[in-house]
Amino acid sequence: MTGTERELRPFRLPSLRWTGIFVLLTLLSLDIWAWDSKAVIGGWLPVWVFHLLVLQFVLAFALWRFTQEWKP
Amino acid sequence: MSPTLIVLAVLTLYLAGSLWVGWRSWRQGAATLDDYFVASRRISPLVLFCTLAATNFSAFFFLGFAGASYRLGWPFYGLMAFGTSLVGLSILLLGVPIYKLGKAKGYLTPPELITGESGSQMLGWLYGAVLVIFTLPYLAVQPYGAGLVLESLTDGGIDGFHGAVLLTGVMLIYIWLGGMRSSVWTDLLQGGLMLGLMLTAVLVVMQGLGGFGAAGGDLAAAHPQKFMREGAVTWQVWLSYTLLWPMVVPMFPQLFSRFYIAESDKALRTAAWLYPTIVPLLFLAPVLLGVSGNLDFPELAKAESDSIVPILLLEHAPLWLAALVMTGALAAFMSTADSQLLAMSSILTRDIAASITELKEDEQYSLGRWLVVALAIVGLALAYDPPDTIFNVVSQAFTGLAVLFPTTVALLWWRHTRSEACIASILTGETLVAWTYLAAQGGGIPEWFTQGFHPSMPIIFLSAVILIVGSLLLGKDSET
């Protein structure tokens, strides 16, 4: 194995901040505090589904920012 | 025009389109092993994202999602969506390293990377064996399922087995010709069809039900429990699925192999953030259809509810449109099955045949193509009368494949990983998969083991613990 090949592993995250962000988003997706919610938007979309939709777009934005920073 | 003729006309157009795209891709490629299995590592960002999505979303997305949503209601969206969006993170944290190592060292299959990075042929074989054991039965189930869709579409005009032969035959031709390149470009056609036709189905059915607001209001009045998580699912199960998808999806060999085909790591970076951009909206469609099915057909049994999409279409759309939309289910089947066929062929060629005997590259290229044919025939033979064992293995496939996740992550990200600990981790994990399966068949999986979570969670956790503790006990291994 050459030196260059050896340098590829192990890969490393740029900072623990990103781990925190992704863990936080996952915990927020649980939405336990409104588990019994029956509220709907527009008569058909449960509010908790809307909450999940928003979180997923936040996740997409976070990933986009992360890709700008993490270049192994 | 008779209903069967309409379906056949739509089907012929779709299959001819797939063949044409497959043929065009083959003409642009080269007859080399690298091109056949990884499309010469030249797939651009947007195309890579499309092929990852089309490969991941099988016929289950088209039919099974709606069926499960019919039964469980909106909570099914929660079980699937956020976890699948997190696959974007896996594409980045696993896909980019796998791409870089694959490009630097010429890896073509998942076990090759595992063998190369761990220095253990035994670990590579074990890893490959798990991939084959849990993917091969899928190859049999997929044509079986697609044949049944075709049989129901033609009202018995084409029986299930002949339908499976027809669809597998077309798939075989374009994969035989162009390998990964054909698979990727047909994915674009098939994925586009799947998405476009699913959205068409939503618009047609919701209009037939009086619009989104009216249908939602009627549904909330008649079936309020379909809107609520309480009583339908626990937070432990919810969290289990959210964590399971990003761990298991990259372990599907057909997905793992696609990390090698990117033209640059930018392609994977783009696919990573596009995934959670598209998935949230895409998943709304089948869930909305399934939940709304309770308005017109509130008493369907489980097997019937898996056909809720065609049932709704036949109720609210002209037959030609229903047939056209259901072509999307066949596209979803083919986009996944062709990738599985190619991934299995590459593993058997590179990790089994080429590791036990000397084979030149052109011999491997030839063997790989013939193995695609052989695997398709085996799949069809099993689809003729699938034994129960196949469905049993498929039911455990997600957990069985997720057991490989700790090993994959550790080899890429942790300096102290020892191959012996990886082997112990995988063997323990798979033993637990078999045990939980047998326990579920008997008195049920003990609560002390799952603590309310999906059984995959304690299994993956224990596999990871064994890997970490084993590696630390064995000490630093500078060779891995």
Rounded-to-integer distance, Cα B252 and Cα B445, Å: 25
Q: CB neighbours (10 Å) of residue B51?
A: 28
Q: CB neighbours (10 Å) of residue B377?
A: 12
CB contact under 8 A, A44 and B212: yes
In order of B294, B365, B477, the CA distances from B78 in angstroms are 19, 43, 42
Would you say residue A26 lies in a domain?
Answer: no
Label residue A58 exposed, middle or buried (CB < 10 Å: 0-12, 13-18, 19+): middle
In order of B71, B226, B307, B366, B463, the CA distances from B300 in angstroms are 9, 15, 10, 49, 40
CB contact under 8 A, B227 and A38: yes
Q: Which residue has the higher pLDDT, B198 or B459?
A: B459
Quote the pLDDT of residue B129: 96
Would you say residue A43 lies in a domain?
Answer: yes
Q: What is the pTM of this model?
A: 0.93
Residue to substitute from B91, B96, B107, B229, interface A, most A β-carbons within 10 A? B229
Across the range A27-34, mean pLDDT stands at 92
Rounded-to-integer distance, Cα B171 and Cα B342, Å: 11
Across the range B101-117, mean pLDDT stands at 96
Max CA distance (Å), chain A? 62
Contact B138, B340 (CB under 8 A): yes
Q: How far is CA B125 from the centre of its chain?
A: 22
pLDDT interval class at B459 (50, 70, 90) = very high
Q: Which element (helix H / strand E) includes A49?
A: helix A47-69
Least confident range from B1-15, B31-45, B165-179, B368-382: namely B1-15
pLDDT interval class at B476 (50, 70, 90) = low
Quote the pLDDT of residue B153: 77
CB contact under 8 A, A30 and B238: yes
Least confident range from A19-33, B86-100, B315-329, B403-417: namely B315-329
Quote the pLDDT of residue B84: 96
What residue ranges define each of the domains in chain B, with the CATH number in brackets? 3-386 (1.20.1730.10), 403-480 (no CATH)
pLDDT tens by residue, B217-270: 999 999 999 999 999 999 999 999 999 999 999 999 999 999 999 999 999 999
Residue to substitute from A47, A67, A69, interface B, most B β-carbons within 10 A? A67
Paired strand residues for A40: A46
- What's the domain range around A69? 37-72
- Structural domains counted in chain A: 1
Quote the pLDDT of residue B222: 93
Across the range B397-401, mean pLDDT stands at 94
Q: Is it the case that residue B3 has pLDDT exceeding 50?
A: yes
Would you say residue A68 lies in a domain?
Answer: yes
Q: Is there a cis peptide before residue B253, judged by omega within 30 degrees of 0?
A: no
Would you say residue A42 lies in a domain?
Answer: yes
Contact B353, B367 (CB under 8 A): yes
Residue B175: partners with Cβ closer than 8 Å, 6 or more residues away: B22, B182, B183, B338, B341, B342, B372
Q: Which residue has the higher pLDDT, B2 or B75?
A: B75
Among A32, A45, A64, select the one facing B235 at the smallest CB separation: A32
Which residue on chain B is closest to A68 by alpha carbon? Answer: B269
pLDDT tens by residue, B163-196: 899 999 999 999 999 999 999 999 999 999 888 9
Across the range B187-215, mean pLDDT stands at 92
Give me chain B's average pLDDT, please: 92
Across the range B410-419, mean pLDDT stands at 94
pLDDT interval class at A1 (50, 70, 90) = very low
Residue B242 dihedral angles phi and psi, to the nearest 5°: -60, -35
CB contact under 8 A, A57 and B280: yes
Closest CA to A37 of B241, B225, B212: B225
Among A26, A46, A72, select the one facing B242 at the smallest CB separation: A26
CB contact under 8 A, A56 and B85: yes
Min Cα–Cα distance to chain B from A38, Å: 6
Rounded-to-integer distance, Cα A64 and Cα A68, Å: 7
Across the range B445-465, mean pLDDT stands at 96
Would you say residue A24 lies in a domain?
Answer: no
Across the range B148-156, mean pLDDT stands at 80
Among B104, B269, B280, select the one facing A53 at the smallest CB separation: B280
Among B81, B117, B224, select the one facing A9 at the smallest CB separation: B117
Total CB pairs under 8 A between chain A and B? 126
Q: Which residue has the higher pLDDT, B18 or B329?
A: B18
Among A35, A56, A67, select the one facing B280 at the smallest CB separation: A56
pLDDT interval class at B154 (50, 70, 90) = confident
